[in-house]
Structures are given as C-alpha cells and as structure tokens.
Amino acid sequence: MLETRQDGTTRTAEAPRSPVWRQRSFLALWSAHTVSQFGTQITLFVIPVLALTTLSATPGQLGLVSAAETVPFLLIGLPAGALLDRWDRRRVMVVADLGRAVAICVLPLGYALDTLSVPLLCAVAFVTGVFTVFFDIADQALLPSVVSRAQTADGNSRLEFSRSTAELAGPSLGGLLLQLLAAPLILLADAVSYLLSALLLRSVRTRHDDDQDHDQDHDQDRKHGRGDDHGHDHTEPRAAPESESRMRTRIAEGLRFVLTHRTLRPLALATAIGNLASLGGALSALLTAYAVHDLRLSPGALGLALSLGNAGALLGAVATGRLIRRFGLGPVLIGAKSLPGLAVLVLATAAPGRASATVVFATGILACGVTVYNIGQVSLRQAVTPTALQARMNASVRFVIWGTLPLGALAGGLLGSWLGLRPALWLVGATGLLSCLPLLLAREVRALRAMPTGPESVD
C-alpha cells in the first residue's frame, strides 16, 4: 500500500497487520528464538552439573563461571548498543549464533582431550557472553521492526512463552540426557540449536526491507520512464552517514535517555536489584550445589523438579494479559517483581525429605513472577522508546540490569563458601524482595493501568 507524503513523494504505508502468528517474518524470528532457548536452557543446567561432578567445583568457582558469562554486558554492553543502531541487527544475530556455536564446541573437545578445567569453562562462558550481548540487544531491538508497535506486547508474549516452555522442558531433558551421555557431549545440542537459529534468522524480513524493495521497484520504474508525469525524483534524501556520530555521544544519548526517563529509570533499577539475586546472579552459584549437596537430589531428580516448577512460567505467560486488564500494568509489575525473592525464601526452607516438592513449588513461584514481569517490562520499555533509540535503550538498560549479574554470581559464591548454602539463600531471598521498592516509589509506574501507545503518550 502506498501513501503520498506532503512533499509529493510516496512510500509504503503501514497496512493493517495480520496477527503476529500469521506473519512469516515473525514466525521465523519466533522459531529461531525458541530453538536457541531450548539449547541454552539445556546448557544452563548441564554446565554447573559438569563443574560439580567432573571438576568438583566449589560454590565460589561456580560463581566465577556464571560471572564470566555475564560480565561482557558490563564491558561492551554500551558500545554494542551504539553500534547496533548503525548495523544490520538481523545479520548481527546470525553472526552471534554462529560464534556461540563454535565457542560451545570447545567444551566437548576439551573433555575429549582431557583438558577440561574451570578456567576453560570461564573462558568459553566469557566468549559466549560476548556474542550473547550483541544477540540479545539486537533481538529486542529487532522485534519492533518486524511487527507493528501495537503488536509488540503480543510478540513479546509469544517470545516469552517460548522461553518459558524451554525452561519447562530444558532441565528435564538435560537431566535425562545426563543419565545417558557425558555432560560435555550434551553441549553439542546447544551448538546445533545456534546453527539452526542462524538459518531461521536469515529468512526474517523487516518493514525496512519492504520499503527498500519498493524503492528499488520505483527506481526501476523511473529508469524505464514509468515515473510521475513531471519526471520528479522520488528518491528520499539520504541521511548523513552514521559514522559521523561519535561513539561516546551515541552511548551518552542512550544512557541519558534511560537514566532521566521517569518510567525506564525505576524499571532498570528494580530489575538490576532483582538480578543480583536471580538465577543469573547469586542463585546461579548456589542452587545446583544446594540441591545436590544439602538436599541430596540427583541431577536427574533436580532437572525433573525444575521442569515441573517451570510450569509456573507457562501460567504467567498465559495470564499476563488478563492480570494487566484486571489490576493494571503498574500493580502487576510490582507484584510480579516480588515473587522471585519470595520463591528463594521458600527454597531456603527445604529439607531432604521434601526436597523435590519444595523445589517444584519455589520454582513455580519464581518462574511465574519472572515471566509476568518480563512480558510487562520489556513491552513497556519498547512502547515508550522511539524506534531510533531502541538498540541504545536496550544496551543501556542491559548495562544496568545485566551488570549486576556477575556481581551477584560472585557474591553468591562467596556467601555460599563463607556462610553456608542455606544462610546465603536467606540473604539472597531478602534482596529479591527489596527489588520491588523502586517500582512502588515511582508514581509513573505505580499508576499505570494500560500499556502506553507510544513514546509521546508518557514522560
């Protein structure tokens, strides 16, 4: 569909969009996301077990491995966002998938050569983390270019549903595979998932691609004399090359936008505090060791318990829209943010005789809260951010919220070694509960009833 601009030129107008699940490009993006998430969830379960059973790692060493995977967000997260506002985001995601596939394959090779070690795990985790920085920032920045702004919440809900499904099946599948194969060999499944994800991403088309196709067709029309009656040049004036913008200026713009925005700032702060205590933070250094050593669960039993508990994520993904319509977006975000901390406190009460049931219950609370919160906060961030700032906003937010993950992982490992695993869990749970305070104190979030319709509707 074409529309005429005020200057007499034409461009592709925004046509009514079909449901996201019927759009070919979104289906390709969704499929790539799903495949990658399944491989990643298996890896997240297998690597700590590998470190514990094969290398006899301590909680402190588990913290180092977890920190190595997330510290790239502190080191390169901001420059990555500035670069991704200039680069082809889809192409970056393909390269990142290929890079992660190669990095993961190093671990089975190290196992075969008897050179597997904690430093090697840390090195692979760091390299994988670098590629993940670019992939994740590009992933969230790409969605608004694949679907209309009004459909981002629906798109995020489906992507979050896939992540939740992967979390549900991944640990169980990882536990089953551990009964059949050596842990390093299972990591090959993750490498294959990244390769398949890269293939799927190559078929994703954005609305910018469609506009370019129209412009090329229009250029051909003009070349063959099929332009307007007056021979006017419809070619858009091209913007100055992005390279003229200095990197530090672009980074500062993204940070300033997030840190001065009355909605984004409390969201970033609440998520950052929560991530200190999350599965990517302190809990990642404690959970596997606590379950295997203190609760005496086998890796297979732990995988099954985590899978059953992660059914709470499916419940959260399905119920988020209804919860927001019933209670309002702000109250739902606040309530969901408090659930992971409560779940860790429940986990700290577990005893060997009821270990599996407690892990299932605690994981269900955590997964439901994380899912509802992520659908709401990611959609809210995208809704209040102009398209041109999407990548830098995501990079700036990720710098703040993922920057606390390595700190939390290191702190969790140290606390587990110094105080013991159970006392450390009590501290981690209390920290998680405090994470909802920035949302409670921010009227712009607390009073939100529905999703904003665009950047101009808030702040």
State pLDDT tens for residues 201-232.
Answer: 887 877 655 444 444 444 444 444 444 433 33
In the predicted structure, residue 239 carries a pLDDT above the cut 50: no
Secondary structure element (H or E) that encloses residue 10, with its range: strand 10-12
CA angle, residues 429, 433, 434, in degrees to nearest 5: 120
Residue with tokens 């003229």: 244
Say what the pLDDT of residue 79 is: 82
Q: Which residue has the higher pLDDT, 69 or 163?
A: 69
In the predicted structure, residue 433 carries a pLDDT above the cut 90: yes
Q: Is 92 exposed, middle or buried (0-12, 13-18, 19+ CB in 10 A)?
A: buried
> For the range 150-155, what are the long-range contacts, defined as Cβ-Cβ under 8 Å and sequence gap of 24 or more?
150/17, 150/453, 151/17, 151/20, 152/379, 152/382, 152/383, 153/321, 153/375, 153/379, 153/383, 153/451, 154/19, 154/20, 155/20, 155/26, 155/30
Mean pLDDT taken over the chain: 80
Which of 38-47, 87-96, 387-396 has the largest mean confidence?
Answer: 87-96
Dmax (CA) for the chain in angstroms is 85
Region for 126 from its dihedrals, namely left if φ exceeds 0, alpha if ψ lies in -120 to 50, beta otherwise = alpha
Which of these ranges, 41-50, 249-258, 345-354, has the smallest mean pLDDT?
41-50
Average pLDDT of the residues in 367-394: 87
The Cα–Cα gap between 459 and 453 comes to 12
**How many of the other CB atoms lie within 10 Å of CB of 449?**
11
Strands 2-4 and 10-12: antiparallel
The Cα–Cα gap between 181 and 320 comes to 38
Say what the pLDDT of residue 150 is: 67
N- to C-terminal Cα distance for the chain?
A: 33
Average pLDDT of the residues in 12-24: 59
All domains in the chain, ordered by first residue: 19-208+247-457 (1.20.1250.20)
Query: Could you tell me the pLDDT band of residue 420, with boundaries at 50, 70 and 90?
Result: very high
Say what the pLDDT of residue 382 is: 85
Instruction: Report the Cα 255 to chain-centroid distance in Å.
Output: 19
Residue type, 245: S
The Cα–Cα gap between 352 and 300 comes to 15
Task: Give 18's contacts (C-beta < 8 A, 6+ positions apart).
Answer: none
**How many of the other CB atoms lie within 10 Å of CB of 390?**
25
Q: What are φ and ψ of residue 58, in 5° steps?
A: -90, 165
Which of these ranges, 309-313, 332-336, 427-431, has the smallest mean pLDDT?
309-313
Q: Which residue has the higher pLDDT, 157 or 4?
A: 157
The β-bridge partners of 3 are 11
Say what the pLDDT of residue 139 is: 76
Cβ 382 vs Cβ 356: under 8 Å: no
Say what the pLDDT of residue 15 is: 47
The Cα–Cα gap between 244 and 305 comes to 53
Instruction: Report the Cα 43 to chain-centroid distance in Å.
Output: 15
Cβ 206 vs Cβ 146: under 8 Å: yes
CA angle, residues 52, 53, 57, in degrees to nearest 5: 30
The Cα–Cα gap between 165 and 41 comes to 10
Residues 111-166: tens digit of each pLDDT: 888 898 999 999 998 999 899 888 877 877 777 777 766 677 677 777 777 776 67
Which of these ranges, 6-10, 30-34, 399-403, has the smallest mean pLDDT?
6-10
What percent of the chain shows pLDDT beyond 90? 34
The Cα–Cα gap between 182 and 198 comes to 26
Say what the pLDDT of residue 156 is: 73
In the predicted structure, residue 26 carries a pLDDT above the cut 90: no
Cβ 395 vs Cβ 80: under 8 Å: yes
The Cα–Cα gap between 95 and 76 comes to 17
Helices (H), 147-202: 152-178, 183-201
Quote the pTM value: 0.70
Which of these ranges, 109-123, 158-172, 339-353, has the smallest mean pLDDT?
158-172
In the predicted structure, residue 63 carries a pLDDT above the cut 70: yes
Q: Which residue has the higher pLDDT, 350 or 218?
A: 350
The closest alpha carbon to 64, from 399, 413, 405, 400, belongs to 413
The Cα–Cα gap between 417 and 56 comes to 14
